[in-house]
């Protein structure tokens, strides 16, 4: 079994999404000690913006396809995902590898893989709240992975910019949820 661990937060040691994604990986690895863990830090080693030339290199999508489980740390920046994570997704959505167009419409080809996403957001974006229209992180990732045949599982720490106490309890609650995810 191979676990691909992706991080995209720019905040280093302070990062909530990194702490939560690591907790998920640690739980999964604890339950399957023989698993191989591949860590791709998109901030330490960023992928360039997509260009046509970049399609010649399929190493990123092959690494994704080879993984049984993918754990992604995804912070919200400016209501959506970090550009570093977008550059990675730009290499994952590849016609003929992770999806194809059929007469009946697009078909996802990457099903059968588990994708767990650790979200970290400064505010709250609950359905029906005034801010919900600005939620382009969880909704986007749900749509993109759905397009390639995967229903991602989310663990979220929210309200992280609403005070130290709120941040601490939100991260603690998300870390607790990682136990359930790995069970």
Ligand X SMILES: Cc1cc2nc3c(=O)[nH]c(=O)nc-3n(C[C@H](O)[C@H](O)[C@H](O)COP(=O)(O)O)c2cc1C
d(CA 5, CA 19): 12
Q: Is 87 in the site for ligand X (CB under 6 A)?
A: no
Binding of ligand X by 170 (CB under 6 A): no
The edge-to-edge listing of strands for the beta sheet with 36-41 is: 36-41, 2-7, 69-75, 114-120, 153-157
Decide if residue 140 touches ligand X (CB under 6 A): no
Q: Give 75 or 110: the residue with its C-beta nearer to ligand X.
A: 75
Of the candidate spans 33-41, 57-65, 71-79, 99-107, the one that interacts with ligand X by CB under 6 A turns out to be 71-79
Which x/- pattern over 19-58 shows residues binding ligand X (rule: CB under 6 A)?
----------------------------------------
Q: How far is the CB of 65 from ligand X (least distance, A)?
A: 26
Give the residue with the Cβ less far from ligand X, 75 or 152: 75
Binds ligand X by CB under 6 A, chosen from 5, 18, 22, 91: 18
Secondary structure (3-state) at 156: strand
CA 60/CA 87 separation, integer angstroms = 10
Joined tokens for residue 49:
């913006």
CB of 101 to ligand X, least distance (A): 33
Give, in order, the Cα–Cα distances in Å from 141 to each of 80, 82, 83. 9, 12, 13
Q: How far is the CB of 125 from ligand X (least distance, A)?
A: 7
Q: How far is residue 105 from each of residues 111, 119, 147, measured CA to CA in Å?
A: 16, 30, 11
- Residues forming the site for ligand X (CB under 6 A): 9, 11, 15-18, 75-79, 120-123, 160-161
């Amino acid at each position: 079994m191979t676990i691909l661990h992706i991080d995209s937060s720019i905040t280093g040691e302070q990062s909530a999404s990194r702490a939560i994604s690591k907790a998920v990986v640690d739980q999964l690895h604890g339950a399957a000690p023989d698993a191989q863990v591949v860590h791709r830090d998109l901030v330490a080693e960023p992928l360039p913006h997509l260009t046509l030339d970049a399609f010649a290199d399929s190493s990123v999508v092959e690494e994704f396809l080879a993984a049984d489980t993918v754990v992604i740390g995804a912070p919200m920046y400016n209501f959506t995902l970090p550009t570093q994570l977008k550059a990675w997704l730009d290499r994952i959505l590849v016609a003929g590898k992770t999806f194809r167009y059929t007469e009946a419409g697009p078909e996802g080809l990457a099903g059968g893989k588990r994708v767990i996403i650790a979200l970290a957001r400064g505010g709250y974006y609950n359905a029906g709240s005034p801010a919900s229209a600005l939620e382009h992180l969880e909704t986007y990732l749900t749509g993109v992975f759905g397009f390639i045949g995967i229903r991602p599982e989310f663990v979220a720490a929210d309200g992280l910019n609403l005070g130290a106490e709120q941040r601490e309890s939100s991260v603690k609650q998300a870390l607790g949820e990682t136990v359930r995810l790995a069970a």
